[in-house]
């Protein structure tokens, strides 16, 4: 971000402002009109997928050499933020496409990148398969196994809570290749939905983000070629942690967008709603609530943009570690999203509790941002350990 002496404020460079304007127009015109129906009927946001694919905003992070736009991390979070502002479920299309390919981009061979990334740039989707029923926050306790068989690997096990799991073509899958080596015995693989022995299981019934299918994945003697391993054997857990350093800010951006959307609805409502002979906006307690909401959103945005910008450079400034910035920005923004959406419901009163207004949906969508890609408790543990290291 640059300092503008004419207006005495920090602002994004022009190219990012133009990007925001472009994706906001698409979101408002092609995604927002379907958001309530997507939530009500728990259906995948096909309209959003088509709009994002046709505009190239489905996976802006894919490098140009593989058919993508080669956008940096700051651009990616702006896209996710603007889509989430109107539909939390739809924002998971670009967010999870990045999550599902970031490990490959960071550690994969050029040959494997050339096999996978052009598909994603062309409109296929990717998912990230780390979590298991007995290995959530304790990811190192995973049981899914991969055993070498000639030139191939054979995977057995299952994964759960996989975002967009029933819609993806490619999956980054973590599996144990050396059960005696602890976290150093985990390796990362790219699995295709057509690989023999792979299948998608049941979908979860969720509180929010109902338009994004959350699935179980099963690997039953799932055979994949040997060149589908990401990086070296035993480096999967390291790849997983590196991925989260780059993608936790994207979940923060989703939370930020949801909060911004709820704030705008609340502002519009209190200007129109009249009580005791004047607009609700005229009351001091309303103004104080809006001021608090605005301050929280602005602070979260600065944290998210700072973390994303530093993730792109691969280092954090002032000696801080990248993981600390990523975890902190995600935890703060998601906590703010819950606070802001609850305040928005309160400002709308009884109407805020109905489906006639989107703030109740936004509150339900916001909740998951405190849980996935590392619960906020885990994020605080990450921060605490790095502060004390």
Shared-domain flag, residues 141 and 24: no
Shared-domain flag, residues 143 and 52: no
Q: Which helix (H) or strand (E) holds 158?
A: strand 152-163
CA proximity to 230, closest of 187, 290, 171, 180 = 187
d(CA 107, CA 92): 23
Average pLDDT over every residue of 293-303:
97
Helix axes 376-388, 322-348, angle to 10 degrees: 140
- Do residues 44 and 51 make contact, with C-beta atoms less than 8 angstroms apart? no
Helix axes 32-40, 46-55, angle to 10 degrees: 140
Encode pLDDT of 303-332 as tens digits: 999 999 988 776 555 456 889 999 999 999
Encode pLDDT of 335-377 as tens digits: 999 999 999 999 999 999 999 999 999 999 999 999 999 999 9
pLDDT exceeding 70 applies to what percent of the chain?
95
Domain harbouring 147, CATH code: 2.40.110.10
Structural domain count, the chain: 3
Encode pLDDT of 225-276 as tens digits: 999 999 999 999 999 999 999 999 999 999 999 999 999 999 999 999 999 9
Domain harbouring 351, CATH code: 1.20.140.10
Q: What is the pLDDT of residue 314?
A: 61
Domain residue limits at 106: 2-121
Domain final residue, candidates 217, 235, 253: 235
Shared-domain flag, residues 35 and 50: yes
Q: What is the pLDDT of residue 5?
A: 40
Find residue 275's DSSP bridge partners. 278
Shared-domain flag, residues 252 and 337: yes
Catalytic residues: 373
Domain final residue, candidates 58, 90, 121: 121
d(CA 204, CA 265): 29
Structure tokens at 205: 């019934």
Shared-domain flag, residues 266 and 362: yes
Is it the case that residue 56 has pLDDT exceeding 90? yes
Question: Which pTM was predicted?
Answer: 0.95
Shared-domain flag, residues 19 and 69: yes
Shared-domain flag, residues 195 and 268: no
CA proximity to 299, closest of 358, 269, 340 = 340
Find residue 78's DSSP bridge partners. none
Domain harbouring 81, CATH code: 1.10.540.10
Could you tell me if residue 221 is left (phi over 0), alpha (psi between -120 and 50 degrees) or otherwise beta?
Answer: left
What sign for the dihedral angle of Cα 281, 303, 210, 43? positive
Mean pLDDT of the chain: 95
Domain final residue, candidates 95, 121, 147: 121
Is it the case that residue 83 has pLDDT exceeding 60? yes
Shared-domain flag, residues 78 and 115: yes
Shared-domain flag, residues 190 and 281: no
Shared-domain flag, residues 251 and 142: no
Shared-domain flag, residues 279 and 178: no
Structure tokens at 116: 């996978």
Is residue 3 very low, low, confident or very high in pLDDT (cuts 50, 70, 90)? very low
Is it the case that residue 213 has pLDDT exceeding 60? yes
């Amino acid at each position: 971000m640059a300092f503008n002496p004419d207006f005495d404020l920090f602002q994004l460079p022009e190219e990012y402002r133009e990007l925001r304007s472009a994706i906001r127009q698409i979101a408002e015109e092609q995604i927002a009109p379907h958001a309530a129906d997507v939530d009500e009927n728990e259906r995948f946001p096909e309209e959003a997928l088509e709009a994002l694919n046709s505009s190239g905003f489905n996976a802006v992070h894919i490098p140009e050499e593989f058919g993508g736009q080669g956008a940096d991390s700051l651009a990616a979070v702006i896209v996710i933020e603007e889509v989430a502002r109107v539909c939390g479920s739809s924002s998971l299309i670009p967010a999870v496409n990045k999550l599902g390919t970031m490990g490959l981009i960071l550690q994969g061979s050029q040959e494997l990148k050339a096999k996978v990334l052009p598909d994603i740039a062309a409109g296929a989707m990717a998912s990230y398969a780390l979590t298991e029923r007995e290995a959530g926050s304790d990811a190192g306790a995973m049981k899914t196994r991969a055993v070498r068989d000639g030139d191939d690997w054979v995977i057995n096990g299952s994964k759960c809570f996989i975002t967009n799991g029933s819609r993806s073509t490619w999956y980054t899958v973590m599996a144990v290749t050396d059960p005696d080596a602890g976290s150093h015995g985990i390796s990362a693989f790219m699995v295709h939905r057509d690989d023999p022995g792979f299948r998608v299981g049941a979908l979860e019934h969720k509180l929010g983000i109902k338009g994004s299918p959350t699935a179980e994945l099963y690997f039953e003697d799932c055979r994949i070629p040997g060149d589908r391993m990401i990086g070296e054997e035993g480096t999967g857990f390291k790849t997983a942690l590196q991925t989260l350093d780059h993608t936790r800010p994207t979940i923060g951006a989703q939370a930020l967008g949801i909060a911004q959307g709820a704030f705008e609805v609340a502002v519009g409502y209190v200007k129109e709603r009249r009580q005791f002979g004047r607009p609700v906006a005229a009351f001091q307690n309303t103004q104080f609530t809006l001021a608090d909401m605005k301050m929280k959103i602005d602070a979260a945005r600065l944290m998210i943009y700072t973390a994303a910008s530093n993730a792109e450079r691969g280092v954090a400034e002032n000696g801080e570690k990248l993981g600390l910035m990523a975890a902190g920005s995600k935890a703060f923004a998601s906590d703010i999203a819950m606070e802001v959406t609850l305040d928005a419901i309160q400002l709308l009163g009884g109407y805020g509790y109905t489906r006639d207004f989107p703030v109740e949906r936004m509150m339900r969508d916001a909740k998951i941002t405190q849980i996935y890609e590392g619960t906020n408790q885990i994020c605080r543990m990450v921060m605490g350990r790095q502060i004390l290291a």
